[in-house]
Structure 1
Amino acid sequence: MREDFSFFTHSGNKIRCSVYSNNKEISKPCLILVHGFKGFKDWGFWPYTAEFFSKNGFNVISFNFSHNGVGDSLTDFDELDKFSENTISLEVDELDEIINAIKEGSCCNLKCSSIGIVGHSRGGAVSILASAKNKNVDALAVWASVAKLDRYPERQKKEWKEKGFIEVLNSRTLQMMRLNVTLLDDIEKNKNTTLNIESAVKKLNKPFLIIHGEQDLTVPVEEGKLLFEFSDKEKTDFEIIPATGHTFDIVHPFESSNAKFDKILNLTLNFFKKNLFPEE
């Protein structure tokens, strides 16, 4: 069963959420699904993923970051002004707040025995950064995650700083989406401290699953390998999925799953069953 609702962060930003649960009265592991850049909770594989884990014994929470650009429509980029003002630090802070609210029971009215996170693409990096500092996270899985946030060529950075913004094309909607220089400033200012992914991975100290498509052109598989290199091998599993790319052959609007994505779901399910459910 899906229930949609909204809540406001301590900064007054609106977070739109969906909860998938077969029985909210029972205390059980909760999974938080974290979308990436130009992503949203109702994109492509996310509702299917949420339903899959809900049917397999989890409470599942998916949400939109307040400045991801998608407003009350839930599917259209109709808040491009907010999108232009977004930063990585804002997303990390919002995820941290969501984790705490879910653990305390002040969000979603869920009873969570433990908390796991699934982050995709840039959402993987945000999930790593939040999980490294939040003790309420018990296990973390990332799909096609970036391993570095300072990923822009110097020529592009120069233009970005001179103009105060750059524009990126959304190839699906054909919208030109503006990114203000505040995003670049945030990354450059904090890349060696609060936004240092290498440091965050090294201090995770919790079960960690890395899954990456072998043919990912958006975030090359080398970044998945780099995350594994940073990690504690005794606590980390790394899976490369052959012959698939950044979204694992899933499109939006969602049409159907496939053998590769089903494998990813089952690998992730087994990981969380092992690390979030109490031993019987």
Structure 2
Amino acid sequence: MREEFSFLTQSGNKIRASIYHQDISISKTCLILVHGFKGFKDWGFWPYTAEYFSNKGFNVVSFNFSHNGVGKSLTEFDELEKFADNTISLEVSELNEIIVAVKNSHFGKIKCSSVGLVGHSRGGAVSILAASNNKNVDALAVWASVAKLDRYTERQKKEWREKGFIEVLNSRTNQMMRMNAALLEDIEANKNSSLNIEKAVKSLNKPFLIIHGEQDLTVPVDEGRLLYEYSDKKLTEFEIIPSSGHTFDIVHPLESSNTKFDRVLEKTLSFFKKYLNNN
């Protein structure tokens, strides 16, 4: 069953979410799915992923960050002004609020015996940063995660500061999407503290799965290797999907799954079954 849910964060921002479950009265492992940059909960593989894990006996929460740019439409970038104002720290803060709400059964009243995170791309980094400081997270899996948040050249940064924004093209929608200087300022101000991914991975101390496509051109597989290098090898599993790109060859709208993405789901399922108690 899929139910729609929304709530306001402590800062007054609206979070839209979908909750997938088979029996809301039973306490189960709850998985929170975390989309990445220019992502949203109804993109491509996310509804398929949520249904997959729900059918395997998990409670699943998939949500949109308040400033991801997708509003009431749920599928179109109709809030570009919010997208422009987004920051990594805002996303980490919102994910932490969602984790606590889910754990305490305040989120659609689902009951959680344990909590796992699944983050893709930048959502992987946000998941790592949140999980490293949130005692309610019991395990996390990241798909094609970035290992560094400062991804910009000095030339880009100079232009960004001078203009107050930079623009990126969404090749799927042909929209030019503005990012205000607040994003750069947030990354630079916190890169050695709250947004330091290396530090977060090294302090994680919980089961950690890293999955990366061998031919990822958006986030090279070397970033997956770097995350593994930072990690506690006794608690970490690292899987490279051969001949696979950033979204494991899944497109939006979803046409069908494929053997590569099936492998991602199977590996993630095996990981959570191994480390989390699912009644």
TM-score, scaled relative to structure 1: 0.99
Which runs of 5 or more structure 1 residues have no equivalent in the other structure? none
Inter-partner Cα distance in structure 1 for 2:271 and 2:107: 25
Equivalent residue number for residue 63 of structure 1: 63
**CA-to-partner distance for each residue in 1:177-196, whole Å, 9 max, x for gaps?**
00000000000000000000
5 Å-filtered alignment, 1:17-166, equals: 17-166=17-166
List, as ranges, runs of 4+ consecutive aligned residues in structure 1 with deviation greater than 3 Å: none
1:155-205 Cα shifts (integer Å, max 9, x gaps):
000000000000000000000000000000000000000000000000000
Partner of 2:203: 203
- Structure 1 residue 277 displacement after superposition: 1.7
Query: Structure 2 CA distance, aligned partners of 1:244 and 1:103?
Result: 34
> What is the alpha-carbon distance in structure 1 between the residues aligned to residue 107 and residue 12 of structure 2?
15
Cα RMSD after superposing both structures = 0.7
| Match in the other structure for 1:170 | 170
Output the amino acid matched with 1:27: S
Give 1:95's aligned amino acid.
L
Question: How far off is 1:87 after superposition?
Answer: 0.0
Tell me the CA shift for residue 224 of structure 1: 0.1
TM-score after normalising by structure 2: 0.99
- 2:270 matched to which residue of 1? 270
2: CA distance, partners of 1:71 / 1:5: 14
Whole-angstrom distance in 2 between the partners of 1:61 and 1:106:
12
| Unmatched 5+ stretches in structure 2 | none
Q: CA deviation at 1:32?
A: 0.1
How big is each residue's C-alpha offset from its partner over 1:183-238, in whole Å with a ceiling of 9 and x where there is no partner?
A: 00000000000000000000000000000000000000000000000000000000
1-structure distance, mates of 2:48, 2:276: 21
What residue is the counterpart of 2:192 in the other structure?
Answer: 192
Q: Percent identity?
A: 76
Q: Secondary structure at the match of 2:132?
A: helix
How far residue 106 of structure 1 moved from its aligned partner, in angstroms, is: 1.2
SS of match in other structure, 1:133: coil
